[in-house]
Amino acid sequence: MMTNSTYVSYFTLSPYFDTGVFKYLYFLIALTLYVLIICSNVLLLVVICVNRSLHEPMYLFLCSLFVNELFGSTGLFPFLLVQILSDVHTVSTSSCFLQIFCLYSYVNVQLYNLAVMSYDRYLAICCPLQYNSRMTSNKVTVLIVLTWLFPLLNVVVMMSLSISLQLCGNIINKVYCDNFSVVKLACFETTANNVYGLTYVFTVYFSLAILIFYYYMRILKVCFSGCKQTRQKAVSTCTPHLASLLNFSFGCFFEVSQSRFNMSSVPNMLRIVLSLYYLTCQPLFNPLIYGLNLTKIRIICKSLVFGKV
């Protein structure tokens, strides 16, 4: 560990340990997950893009979600596969910050996507007569652009603060590069990083969480007070959204718990699995839950696999 250096040319990822021949098993598991994520997300993207009947706001927001999952998975898995087979678990500074940009962009865009999708379902179920006039194609385009623009700007600002730090260490206690782990290596005060991070969390994350909670409370109110047909429509369209939101929330909770609290009593392998949960299960879970629960997508996927239905 470096003690007085102000420039770090590489980082060492400490959680990796010698697994002997088992590293090929771990490599195969990670590769299988990556292939499944790529194939499932690409399949649903193709299904939505080539079928004009699916060119509706809800499915366009799903396209944004699937593209983001491909982006985040590509920021993690190729790096992870190389590290599993490598005997020296180091990464250059530039590659590390590139991965931080990809993974943090993925998480931020995912949250914005889920918020926009909850707003779309709120309009469709609570204001059905006004839905087409309020959710126009121009508005859909603006929402998707903002869903990507705001998170990317946030990550750029966050990384500009981290890159300028003078570091007195180069050991990251993660199997991938993490901004919080880099900030902890700083030689001097990191007040600007902490203030910006906390401000963004309390102003943006909490605001989005409150909006999502409000929209789904309004939807649930309609479910309990509306007719049977309305309840069925609300349940069928909102179930995958809620399942995706809960899965993402649990994954983020595991990650925050590991980053902020002492987890030395937890077995190393379990810590690795928990840190990878929200980066692997969400891209794998979403195509499955949306493909099975949204009738239009399910029917078209069946026709592609089994012929005309």
pLDDT of residue 3: 45
Rg (CA), the chain: 21
Which pLDDT does position 181 carry in this prediction? 86
191: alpha, beta or left? (left if phi > 0; alpha if psi -120 to 50): alpha
Tell me the C-alpha distance between 72 and 177, whole Å: 13
CB 193 within 8 A of CB 173: no
| Residue-number span of the structural domain to which 200 is assigned | 10-306
298 CB contacts (<8 Å, ≥6 apart)? 291, 292
φ, ψ of residue 303 to 5 degrees: the values are -65, -30
Distances, alpha carbon 204 to alpha carbons 46, 209, 228, 255, 278, in Å: 32, 8, 36, 19, 20
CA 103/CA 11 separation, integer angstroms = 17
For residue 2, is it within any domain? no
Question: CA-to-CA distance for 142 and 135, rounded, in angstroms?
Answer: 11
Question: Is residue 150 situated within a structural domain?
Answer: yes
CB 21 within 8 A of CB 178: no
Q: Residue holding tokens 């903002």? A: 146
According to the model, what pLDDT value does residue 5 have? Answer: 47
Give the pLDDT of residue 198.
82
Asked whether residue 5 is assigned to any structural domain, the reply reads: no
90 domain-assigned: yes
| Separation CA 193–CA 198 (nearest Å) | 9
Token pair recorded at residue 186: 């700083």
Write down the pLDDT at residue 309: 47
pLDDT of residue 154: 92
In the chain, which stretches have pLDDT less than 70? 1-7, 18, 226, 230, 233, 259-266, 292-295, 304-309
Burial class (CB in 10 A: 0-12, 13-18, 19+), 62: buried
- Flag whether 301 is in a domain: yes
148, 109 in Cβ contact below 8 A?
A: yes
Number of folded domains that form the chain? 1
What is the CATH number for 74? Answer: 1.20.1070.10
On whether residue 4 sits in a domain, the answer given is no
In a domain, 48, yes or no: yes
Q: What's the token pair of residue 126? A: 């609570």
